[in-house]
């Protein structure tokens, strides 16, 4: 209560304060029949007794008529609640304040929605009136937890480990590769700034500059269009270190998260487990596995290799052919025939992958279209390989290794959703399973032109020390020193050891990625002036906090988010500007015909 005129907040009064005269400020949560009201501020609720005697009639009239969500000041005496009227659900439930004086500081007009967490309202309405939505307990709690975590991160990095907090520019130039960047016009005709998708180049240049350890709570920008759970502007905890290896970065981040982790959440243990990219894909069908539950993908190629099943033999005849399966525990009990058909249809439509099902009956036998092609020995080996129990359902796929694993990885998650919807507790919502994924490929074929390569991470990532020679002979086989941090099936961080050789950086850009290295001439030149070996990582703060508080969307942990189409519904941004305002930037807008007509009308 320092620096303000209140004596206490609405969440701190207890029996020990009985008899004290207090002044509270807050919003009217609700009022009942002119007898009492509940006052709310950022810290909690306090019950205010409205005086009924003639001497305080003006106070009674004022508080009885105050609309909900009006801002009021109340001065009164803290009193114990009458016996039997205590409210154990409220921290202030043993006391009440008997009002002596009051003032309406600002009356509230009719609300577009009730400010209560249990009242459902559309997200569009919540974002239009975000300043009202921010009064809700859940958003207040989310933002305060976020603030506490960031403060502890600063303490860990700066006070305990000598990092320097440096602000980097948000007006820069285009970076080749990666996500699409927002353009900002300049007063030089035809020249534009770019808003950086990350401070990547600057943090590397800070290492060249000898700062040794950098960090920043960085604002970043990506023009990715309409994405359901992405934001065009977002925040990351950005970190870079000199003279560090991959293990050093991982130890730093594990310590950082342990130090800043909220006390009210389940403890996290370190070191975090680690899997390679190839292991993640083979066992979970994704490079961001949710390890809170089993149902791993199992390779059953050897079990079925000797069978006479045509599609099995056809798949295994290809160089990367594979037969794999997942076992859904108690699938017969929890999944309907409609559920199983929807899973198979999903694999067909999304991955062009056919799926066969196998059921283990209560008597231990198998039910499937495949069983007539399998002998007792093969059926027994299949049960053993998949650890099938009674009433388990197996989904089997055959084909090219990566396609099969990807399809089964998707079905694994869809099956988990269906099992939990049917009442089987599979993923503990209070558990936090961190996982490092390492040894990513350095390059991947471009989706539209597979003969060309693009960076799997970004063009500044260093090759794996064991694969450096392959960079010049067969870059498709090069592993990278790129590492991702995954939490409960969501990527919450990614980083790499960087290329610190100008020659190698130029080769990657020009010979492998076929990019114009002139765009990055400043960085390449910097690497020629004694650049130290360095590496770093960025944690996605919005995503991390949303997982910690179990928010349905990252928009619930951001004070003023954009809609999934990238619009600010409260301020109606982006908005039109006049041709006069555009003139200094040498820009003319070419309007589509229908928009021209709309503007005329």
pLDDT digits (tens, 9 = 90+) for 362-401: 999 999 999 889 889 999 999 999 999 999 999 999 999 9
Residues 367 and 393 in one domain: yes
How much of the chain, in percent, has pLDDT values that exceed 90? 89
Is position 94 within any domain?
yes
**Do residues 327 and 411 both lie within one domain?**
yes
In the predicted structure, residue 133 carries a pLDDT above the cut 60 = yes
**Assigned domain for 177 exists:** yes
Q: What is the pLDDT of residue 594?
A: 59
**Domain assignment present for 572:** no
Q: Which of 478, 537, 466 is nearest to 507 (CA)?
A: 478
Residue partners of 380: CB distance under 8 A and separation at least 6: none
496 and 440 part of one domain:
yes
Residues 171 and 75 in one domain: no
Of the candidates 306, 308, 347, 309, the residue with the CA atom closest to the CA atom of residue 326: 347
Residues 159 and 248 both lie in one domain: yes
Last residue of a domain, one of 80, 106, 132: 106
Reply yes or no on whether the pLDDT at 118 is more than 80.
Answer: no
Q: Are 344 and 357 spatial neighbours (Cβ–Cβ below 8 Å)?
A: yes
Q: Are 236 and 220 in contact (CB under 8 A)?
A: yes
- Asked whether 15 and 94 are in contact (CB, 8 A), the reply is yes
Domain containing 520: what range? Answer: 140-275+433-556
- Give the whole-angstrom CA distance, residue 11 versus residue 1: 12
The per-residue pLDDT for 595 is 61
Dump the DSSP string for 239-303: EEEES--HHHHHHHHHHHHHHHS-TTSPP--SSPPEEEHHHHHHHHSSSS--TTS----EE-HHH
In this predicted model, what pLDDT tens digit does every residue of 291-312 receive, in sequence order?
Answer: 999 999 999 999 999 888 889 9
Distance CA 60, CA 556 (A): 38
Q: Which residue has the tokens 């209140």?
A: 6
* pLDDT band, very low/low/confident/very high, at 556 (cuts 50, 70, 90): very high
* Average pLDDT value for residue range 3-14: 95
Average pLDDT over residues 478-489: 98
- pLDDT tens digits for 504-555? 999 999 999 999 999 899 999 999 999 999 999 999 999 999 999 999 999 9
All residues at 6 or more sequence positions from 514 whose CB lies less than 8 Å from its CB, including other chains: 452
| Three-state SS sequence of 335-365 | CCHHHHHHHHHHHHHHHCCCCEEEEECCCCC
318 and 262 share one domain = no
CATH for 439: 3.30.930.10
> 265 and 163 in one domain?
yes
Same domain, 220 and 182: yes
* In a domain? residue 581: no
pLDDT in tens, 141-160: 999 999 999 999 999 999 99
Q: Is residue 593, in this structure, part of any structural domain at all?
A: no
587 DSSP assignment: -
Mean pLDDT to the nearest integer, 449-461: 94
**Is the pLDDT score of 597 beyond 70?**
no
601 pLDDT higher than 60: no
With contact defined as beta carbons under 8 Å apart, do 440 and 480 qualify? yes
Give the pLDDT of residue 277. Answer: 98
What pLDDT digit, counting tens, does each position of 166-178 carry? Answer: 999 999 998 776 6
**Residues shown for the chain:** 601
Q: C-alpha 417: how far from its chain's center?
A: 19
Closest by CA position to 78, among listed 12, 30, 29, 28 = 12
- Determine the Cα–Cα distance for residues 222 and 246; give it in Å rounded to an integer: 27
Per-residue confidence (pLDDT) for residue 228, from 0 to 100: 66
Q: What is the CATH number of the domain that holds 79?
A: 2.40.50.140
**Within a domain: 228:** yes
Q: Is the bond into 574 cis (omega within 30 degrees of 0)?
A: yes
Mean pLDDT of the chain: 94
Lowest-confidence region among 57-66, 168-177, 189-198, 273-282: 168-177
pLDDT value at residue 306: 86
In 3D space, the residue among 548, 545, 498, 541 whose CA is nearest the CA of residue 523 turns out to be 498
CATH label of the domain that carries residue 415:
3.30.1360.30
| Contact call for residues 306 and 379 (beta carbons, < 8 A) | no
pLDDT band (50, 70, 90) for residue 229: confident
Stretch 401-414: mean pLDDT: 97
Q: What is the reported pLDDT for 230?
A: 86
Do 441 and 478 meet the contact criterion of CB atoms below 8 Å apart? yes
Cα(597)–Cα(93) distance, rounded to whole angstroms? 61
Q: Same domain, yes or no, for 316 and 406?
A: yes
What percent of the chain has a predicted confidence (pLDDT) above 70?
98
pLDDT at 226 exceeding the cut of 70: no
* The pLDDT value given to residue 593: 55
How many domains does the structure of the chain reveal? 3
What is the C-alpha to C-alpha distance for residues 117 and 40, in angstroms, rounded to an integer?
Answer: 14
- The phi-psi region of residue 480 (left if phi > 0; otherwise alpha if psi is between -120 and 50; otherwise beta) is beta
Residue ending a domain, among 87, 106, 125, is: 106
Strand blocks (E) in 366-420: 366-367, 393-400
pLDDT at 372: 87
| Cis peptide leading into residue 457 (ω within 30°) | no
Both 209 and 146 in a single domain?
A: yes
Number of neighbouring beta carbons within 10 Å of residue 87: 13
- Rounded to an integer, the average pLDDT of 348-358 is 94
The answer to the question of residue 162 being in a domain is yes
Do 144 and 271 share a structural domain?
Answer: yes
- Helix (H), strand (E), coil (C) string for 46-83: EEEECCCCHHHHHHHHHHHCCCCCCEEEEEEEEEECCC
Helices 401-421 and 337-351, interaxial angle, to 10°? 150
Q: Is the pLDDT of residue 596 over 90?
A: no
Q: Is 473 within the bounds of a domain?
A: yes
Residue that wins the pLDDT comparison between 120 and 133:
133
Give residue-wise pLDDT tens across range 174-213.
877 667 899 999 999 999 999 999 999 999 999 999 999 9
């Amino acid at each position: 209560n320092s620096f303000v005129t209140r004596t206490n907040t609405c969440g701190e009064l207890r029996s020990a304060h009985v008899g004290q005269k207090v002044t509270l400020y807050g919003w009217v949560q609700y009022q009942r029949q002119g007898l009492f009201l509940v006052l709310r501020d950022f810290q909690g609720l306090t019950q205010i007794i409205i005086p009924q005697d003639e001497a305080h009639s003006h106070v009674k009239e004022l508080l009885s008529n105050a609309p909900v969500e009006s801002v009021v000041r109340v001065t009164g005496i803290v009193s114990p609640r009458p016996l039997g009227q205590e409210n154990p659900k409220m921290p202030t439930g043993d006391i009440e304040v008997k009002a002596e004086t009051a003032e309406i500081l600002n009356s509230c007009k009719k609300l577009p929605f009730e400010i209560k967490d249990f009242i459902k309202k559309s997200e569009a309405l919540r974002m239009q009136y975000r300043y009202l939505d921010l009064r809700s307990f859940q958003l207040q709690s989310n933002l305060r937890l976020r603030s506490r975590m960031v403060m502890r991160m600063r303490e860990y990095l700066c006070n305990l480990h000598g990092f320097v907090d440096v602000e980097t520019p948000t007006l820069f130039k285009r970076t080749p590769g990666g996500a699409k960047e927002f353009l900002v016009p300049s007063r030089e005709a035809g020249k534009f700034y770019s808003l950086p998708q990350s401070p990547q180049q600057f943090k590397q240049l800070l290492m060249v500059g000898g700062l040794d350890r950098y960090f920043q709570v960085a604002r970043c920008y990506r023009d990715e269009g309409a994405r359901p759970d992405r934001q065009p502007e977002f925040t990351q905890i950005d970190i870079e270190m000199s003279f560090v290896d991959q293990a050093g970065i991982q130890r730093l981040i594990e310590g950082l998260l342990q130090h800043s982790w909220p006390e009210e959440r389940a403890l996290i243990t370190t070191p975090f487990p680690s899997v390679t990219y190839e292991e993640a894909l083979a066992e979970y069908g994704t490079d961001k596995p949710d390890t809170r539950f089993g149902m791993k993908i199992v390779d059953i190629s050897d079990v079925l290799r000797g069978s006479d099943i045509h599609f099995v033999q056809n798949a295994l005849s290809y160089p990367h052919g594979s037969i794999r399966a997942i076992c859904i525990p108690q699938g017969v009990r929890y999944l309907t025939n409609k559920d199983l058909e929807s899973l198979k249809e999903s694999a067909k439509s999304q991955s062009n992958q056919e799926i066969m099902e196998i059921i283990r009956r209560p008597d231990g036998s198998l039910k499937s279209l495949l069983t007539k092609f399998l002998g007792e020995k093969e059926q027994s080996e299949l049960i053993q390989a998949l650890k099938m129990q009674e009433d388990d359902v197996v989904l089997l796929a055959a084909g090219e290794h990566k396609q099969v694993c990807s399809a089964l990885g998707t079905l694994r998650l869809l099956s988990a959703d269906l099992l939990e919807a049917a009442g089987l507790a599979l993923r503990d919502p209070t558990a936090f399973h961190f996982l490092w994924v390492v040894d990513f490929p350095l390059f991947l074929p471009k989706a539209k032109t597979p003969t060309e390569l693009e960076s799997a991470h970004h063009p500044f990532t260093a090759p794996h020390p064991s694969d450096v020679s392959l960079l010049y002979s067969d870059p498709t086989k090069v592993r990278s020193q790129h590492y991702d941090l995954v939490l409960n099936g969501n990527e919450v961080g990614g980083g790499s050891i960087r290329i610190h050789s100008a020659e190698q950086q130029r080769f990657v850009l020009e010979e492998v990625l076929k990019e114009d290295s002139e765009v990055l001439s400043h960085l390449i030149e910097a690497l020629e002036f004694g650049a130290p070996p360095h590496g770093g990582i960025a944690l996605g703060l919005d995503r991390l906090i949303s997982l910690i508080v179990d928010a349905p969307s990252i928009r619930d942990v951001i004070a003023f988010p954009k809609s999934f189409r990238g619009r600010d519904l409260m301020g109606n941004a982006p908005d039109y500007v006049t041709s006069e305002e555009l003139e200094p930037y040498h820009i003319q807008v070419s309007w589509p015909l229908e928009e021209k007509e709309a503007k005329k009308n």
